[in-house]
Amino acid sequence: MNSCSEFLLTRRSIRVFEEKEVPIDIVLKAIDIARYAPSAKNIQPWAFIIVKDRGILNKLAELHPGAAPLRRAPIAVVVLADSQASPVSYLVDGANAAMYLWLALHCLGLGAVWIQTLRNIDEIRKLLNIPENWVPVAIMAIGYPAERPSPKPRKDLSEIVFVDVFGNRYSGAKAS
């Protein structure tokens, strides 16, 4: 396996972090890389809020049970997408930026987990003073990894790959 595939295959959701501060410069470096995510018409309808304030992190951690890793994370980044700037593609573009950010953090030795935002858009807007046209598409809880989770199971290629038309399964595909 080459190092690029290995890099992609070793990203994990990290939910437990060391009690160690993450320098904001490293997070900025990851955001700098995330800017290179693709977006429709290269509109780049995204913005990033770095959250360091413990009080705000704890409030975000209460959004839903799955947001609990934010209570243990020393820092987080909220990825926003501008529904006005790119009315058709903002969610996809925002997700691209969040995924690039996640991979960039992995590249820089940080652990992260994507925290769901889409059921709590208004609460998050209120908490972080986000204007109406901006949608929080992801919160990345970030820190130095304090766990090494095994890979989560993935669906078999034979279940998800079709050839030419939907339903025509390609059964010869081999997983990596």
Ligand X SMILES: Cc1cc2nc3c(=O)[nH]c(=O)nc-3n(C[C@H](O)[C@H](O)[C@H](O)COP(=O)(O)O)c2cc1C
Question: Kindly report the CA angle at 56 between 14 and 95, in degrees rounded to 5?
Answer: 50
> Considering CB under 6 A, how many residues would be counted as binding ligand X?
11
User: How many helical (H) and strand (E) elements, i.e. helices and strands, does the chain have?
Assistant: 7, 4
Q: Does 106 bind ligand X (CB under 6 A)?
A: no
Stretch that binds ligand X, among 26-34, 50-58, 81-89, 110-118 (CB under 6 A): 110-118
**Among residues 155 and 168, whose Cβ is nearest to ligand X?**
155
To ligand X, the closest distance from the beta carbon of 168 in angstroms equals 28
Helix axes 90-107, 24-34, angle to 10 degrees: 130
DSSP state for residue 72 in the 8-state scheme: H
| Alpha-carbon span 51 to 84, nearest angstrom | 24
From residue 8 to residue 27, what is the string marking binding to ligand X with x (rule CB under 6 A)? ----xx-x------------
- Specify the stretch interacting with ligand X by CB under 6 A; choose among 1-9, 44-52, 113-121, 157-165: 113-121
Query: Per rule CB under 6 A, is residue 116 in the interface with ligand X?
Result: yes
- Minimum Å gap between C-beta 12 and ligand X is 4
Tokens of 131: 């204007």
Q: Which residue lies nearer to ligand X by CB, 31 or 139?
A: 139
Question: Closest residue to ligand X, Cβ-based?
Answer: 66
Q: Residue 114 contacts by C-beta under 8 Å, 6 or more apart in sequence?
A: 13, 98, 102, 138, 139, 140
Which of the ranges 1-9, 41-49, 63-71, 123-131 carries the binding residues for ligand X, by CB under 6 A?
Answer: 63-71
Cα–Cα distance, 17 to 143 (Å, whole number): 5
- Beta strand 111-115 pairing with 134-143: antiparallel
Contacts with ligand X by CB under 6 A lie at 12-13, 15, 66-67, 69, 113-116, 152
